[in-house]
């Protein structure tokens, strides 16, 4: 396990940002999902040692998050969410500077800066002043500085925010390349579900500072069956009985009911309840659960 | 867009465990300062007083070559600890130091705040103290060029021009005074500048604050002096405190009839306060409550 944390609590004054969060992330790309304010960035900042957990602890790459922050930062790359750069520098100087700060020898850092800038597609503009970079270029540059010291683990905080579709695809392509072929573990924090679904196999979902779900995306999607149905008749009693069976029911704008059916529950029950409530089932389809559905289910938002 | 044509390759080097992990910060800070055209032009001018004082040392040893120098001028050319004190504590030199810290120091933290780069520093194996040391060393570098180095060069050149060790034997403690006072000057200006630089994301505002607070303290001192006629009011003036401490360190009569310890404590208090604020302001992450 590259990241293991147990019972992490953290508060900003009276506001609880994280409560009892425990994680065990396997190798490969993992997504950190959650709505805004769920505690994703706070968790990453605790893992990096920017913030100190009020309670609980853990290890990143085997190093203690409270006592061995310097070691963690040596072997971890971080791509922050906000635009961040050092004015007056060009991309090569900027990237090699941060490589040096990671502990790389000066010449090696410079050589490596050229390599990673080439890798992220900034080779043409590597001598341009950073202040003249577009949002997409800055995003690539942030990725370059995160990998310049060849980290074993990279934290990517909203890597595609503010990018146009093409730029987004290019960044995602890079992330997939790094995580799948380069033996570097990636933890991507995002609220853009398709990005996570595309790049990650494992997901951690946070909601209101608490762990809502974690696991392999494909396994999580199978926890509950999703049925889509259209009904005719008085729906009140039908829906109540479904909810009594711990089903989560959502109604879409075009009148389709999405029923998340609990595991090990016989789906014939749906037809029995419909018959009892004199409901006509006019459309009944077992639907493919997407990450979006899973997210909506565990977080309780559409 | 073509990416990965060359592909990502792992780095097979080994990380250095630097004795001075802050050194890259200092090197880049100095480099960025010299990138400013105006600074490149103005900085050599700040060495003119040193050249002038060095000329005075030469003339003082060759008075027979300058027969037209008589009376008070000859007294001025007497090289003693007062000569060194005059160079390091005169108002004009303090003004030059202020200008230098404005150019090299105003943006040191404010730019990092403005461009969110603190998180880039602190996601590296750096401690807060390394960050501060790296930034302070930039200011120290430029101030030493106009304080410590000229002071020691004057001392050495005095021995060279006189061709004897008499001056050294008369004032063996003088090099220590030069080093000590240079450290106090650079220490004070470093904390003063970094503290103000951490207060705003706007480097121009920081520059105004550095200049304004220094001279505001002087104006307040002048007002209080005319009002209270007490030497203790000199404690509100940054310039007066620096001069008071400087005079004591060079074994000269202090300009104000109060103990130099008070002035030293005022300067120390400012540094401690600045350090405390810096520690709380500079964080890897900005917490919005």
Provide, as residue numbers in chain A, all residues whose Cβ is less than 8 Å from the Cβ of B120. 80, 84, 86, 98, 145
How many domains does chain A fold into? Answer: 2
Q: What is the pLDDT of residue A224?
A: 65
Q: Name the residue among A296, A213, A211, A51 with its Cα closest to residue B287.
A: A51
Same domain, residue pair A290 and A206 = no
Q: What is the mean predicted confidence (pLDDT) over A217-240?
A: 81
Q: Which residue has the higher pLDDT, A233 or A113?
A: A113
Query: A99 to chain B: nearest residue by CA?
Result: B124
Nearest CA in chain A to B118: A84
Q: Quick one: A212 and A244 in the same domain?
A: no
Are residue A173 and residue A228 in the same domain, yes or no? no
Cβ A144 vs Cβ A93: under 8 Å:
no
Average pLDDT of A256-273? 81
Provide the token pair at B289.
């409550």
Domain of A80, CATH number, reads: 3.40.50.300
C-alpha distances in Å from residue B170, one per residue of B108, B148, B154, B163, B165:
42, 20, 15, 14, 9
- Mean pLDDT for the stretch of residues A184-188: 92
Tens digits of residue pLDDT in A90-147: 999 999 999 999 999 999 999 999 999 999 989 889 999 999 998 889 999 999 999 9
Q: What is the average per-residue pLDDT within A195-201? A: 88
Average pLDDT over residues A7-17: 89
Low-confidence ranges of chain B (pLDDT < 50): 1, 289
Helix axes B174-197 and B148-162, enclosed angle (nearest 10): 160
- Establish how many alpha carbons lie within 13 A of residue A90's alpha carbon, considering only the half-sphere containing its beta carbon: 13
**In angstroms, rounded to a whole number, what is the distance separating the alpha carbons of residues A294 and A226?**
10
Q: With 0-12 CB in 10 A as exposed, 13-18 as middle and 19+ as buried, what is A179? A: buried
End-to-end CA distance of chain B: 41
Q: Which of the pair, A267 or A272, is modelled with greater confidence?
A: A272
In this structure, are A44 and A97 located in the same domain? yes
Query: Do A45 and A158 share a structural domain?
Result: yes
Name which of B37, B124, B201, B287 to mutate to probe chain A: the one with the most chain A Cβ atoms within 10 A of its Cβ: B124
Please give the pLDDT value at position A182. Answer: 75
Taking the C-alpha atoms of residue A293 and residue B10, their distance in angstroms, rounded to an integer, is 38
- Are residues A93 and B13, on separate chains, in Cβ contact within 8 Å? no
Residue B289, pLDDT score: 44
**Res. A1 pLDDT band, cuts 50 70 90:** low
The span from the CA of A54 to the CA of A10, in Å, is: 5
| Domain span at A99 | 3-220
Cβ pair B132, B278 in contact under 8 A: yes
Please indicate whether residue B158 or residue A161 has the higher confidence score (pLDDT): B158
| CA–CA dist B115, B32 (Å, integer) | 15
DSSP at A127:
T
Residues A160 and A263 in one domain: no
Q: What is the mean pLDDT of chain A?
A: 87
Segment B71-129, tens digit of pLDDT: 777 777 888 999 999 999 999 999 999 999 999 999 999 999 999 999 999 999 999 99
Looking at chain A, the whole-number percentage of residues with pLDDT higher than 90 is: 33
A231 and A212 inside one domain = no
Q: What CA dihedral angle connects A99, A103, A106 and A108, to 10 degrees? A: -70
Report CB contact under 8 Å: A73, B289. Answer: no
Among residues A187, A220, A253, the one where a domain terminates is A220
Question: Cβ separation of B117 and A116 shorter than 8 Å?
Answer: no
Do A135 and A41 share a domain, yes or no? Answer: yes
- Domain at A247, CATH number: 3.30.70.100
Last residue of some domain: A179, A203, A220?
A220
What does the pLDDT read at residue B6? 57
How far does the CA of residue B133 sit from the closest CA of chain A (Å)? 14
- With contact defined as beta carbons under 8 Å apart, do A123 and A140 qualify? no
Give the pair of three-digit tokens for residue A238: 């039908």
Taking an 8 Å cut-off on Cβ atoms, the answer to whether A73 and B3 are in contact is no
Phi, psi of A76 (to 5 degrees): -120, 140
Closest CB from A93, A104, A150 relative to B10:
A150
Question: Inter-chain contact B125–A50, Cβ cutoff 8 Å?
Answer: no
> Which token pair is B237?
């003036």
CA A72 to chain centre: 20
Among the ranges given (A57-66, A125-134, A282-291, B27-36), the one the predictor scored with the smallest mean pLDDT: A282-291
Where among A198, A220, A242 does a domain terminate?
A220
CB pairs under 8 A between A and B: 128
Distance from CA of residue A14 to its chain's centroid? Answer: 26
Given phi > 0 = left and psi -120 to 50 = alpha, else beta, which region is A289?
beta
């Amino acid at each position: 396990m590259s990241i293991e944390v147990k019972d992490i609590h953290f508060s900003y004054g009276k506001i609880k940002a994280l409560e009892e969060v425990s994680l065990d992330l396997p190798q490969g790309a993992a997504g950190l999902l959650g709505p805004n304010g769920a505690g994703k960035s706070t968790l990453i900042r605790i893992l990096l040692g920017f913030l100190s957990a009020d309670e609980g602890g853990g290890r990143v790459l085997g190093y203690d998050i409270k006592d061995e922050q310097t070691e963690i930062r040596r072997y971890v790359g971080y791509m922050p969410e906000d635009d961040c750069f050092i004015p007056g520098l060009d991309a090569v100087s900027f990237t090699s500077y941060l490589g040096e700060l990671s502990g790389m020898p000066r010449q090696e850092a410079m050589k490596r800066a050229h390599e990673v800038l080439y890798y992220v597609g900034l080779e043409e503009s590597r001598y341009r002043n950073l202040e003249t970079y577009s949002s997409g270029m800055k995003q690539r540059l942030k990725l370059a500085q995160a990998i310049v010291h060849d980290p074993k683990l990279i934290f990517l905080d909203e890597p595609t925010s503010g990018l146009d579709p093409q730029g987004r695809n290019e960044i995602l392509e890079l992330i997939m390349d790094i995580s799948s072929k380069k033996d570097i573990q990636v933890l991507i924090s995002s609220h853009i579900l398709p990005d996570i679904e595309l790049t990650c196999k494992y997901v951690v979902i946070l909601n209101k500072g608490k762990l809502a779900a974690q696991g392999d995306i494909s396994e999580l999607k199978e926890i509950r069956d999703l049925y889509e149905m259209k009904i005719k008749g008085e729906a009140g009693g039908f829906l109540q009985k479904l909810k009594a069976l711990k089903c989560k029911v959502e109604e879409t704008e075009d009148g389709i009911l999405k029923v998340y059916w609990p595991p090990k529950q016989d789906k014939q029950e749906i037809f029995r309840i419909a018959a009892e409530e004199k409901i006509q089932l006019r459309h009944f389809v077992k639907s493919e659960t997407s990450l979006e559905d899973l997210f909506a289910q565990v977080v309780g938002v559409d | 867009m073509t990416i990965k044509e060359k592909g990502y390759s792992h780095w097979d080097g080994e990380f250095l465990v630097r004795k001075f992990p802050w050194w890259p910060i200092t090197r880049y800070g100095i480099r960025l300062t010299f990138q400013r055209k105006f600074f490149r032009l103005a900085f050599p001018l700040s060495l003119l007083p040193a050249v002038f004082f060095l000329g005075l040392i030469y003339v003082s040893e060759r008075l027979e070559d300058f027969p037209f120098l008589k009376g008070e001028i000859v007294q001025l050319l007497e090289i003693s600890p007062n000569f060194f004190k005059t160079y390091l504590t005169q108002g004009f030199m303090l003004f030059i130091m202020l200008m230098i810290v404005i150019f090299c120091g105003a943006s040191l933290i404010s730019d990092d705040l403005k461009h969110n780069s603190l998180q880039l520093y602190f996601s590296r194996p750096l401690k807060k103290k390394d960050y501060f040391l790296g930034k302070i060393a930039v200011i120290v570098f430029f101030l030493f060029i106009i304080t410590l180095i000229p002071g020691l060069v004057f001392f050495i050149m005095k021995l060279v021009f006189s061709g004897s060790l008499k001056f050294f034997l008369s004032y063996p403690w003088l090099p220590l005074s030069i080093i000590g006072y240079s450290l106090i000057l650079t220490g004070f200006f470093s904390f003063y500048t970094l503290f103000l630089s951490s207060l705003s994301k706007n480097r121009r505002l920081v520059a105004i604050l550095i200049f304004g607070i220094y001279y505001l303290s002087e104006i307040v001192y002048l007002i209080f002096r005319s009002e209270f006629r007490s030497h203790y009011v000199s404690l509100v003036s940054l310039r007066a405190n620096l001069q008071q401490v400087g005079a004591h360190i060079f074994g000269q009569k202090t300009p104000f009839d109060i103990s130099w310890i008070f002035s030293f404590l005022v300067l120390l208090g400012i540094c401690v306060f600045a350090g405390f604020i810096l520690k709380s302001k500079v964080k890897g992450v900005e917490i919005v409550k």
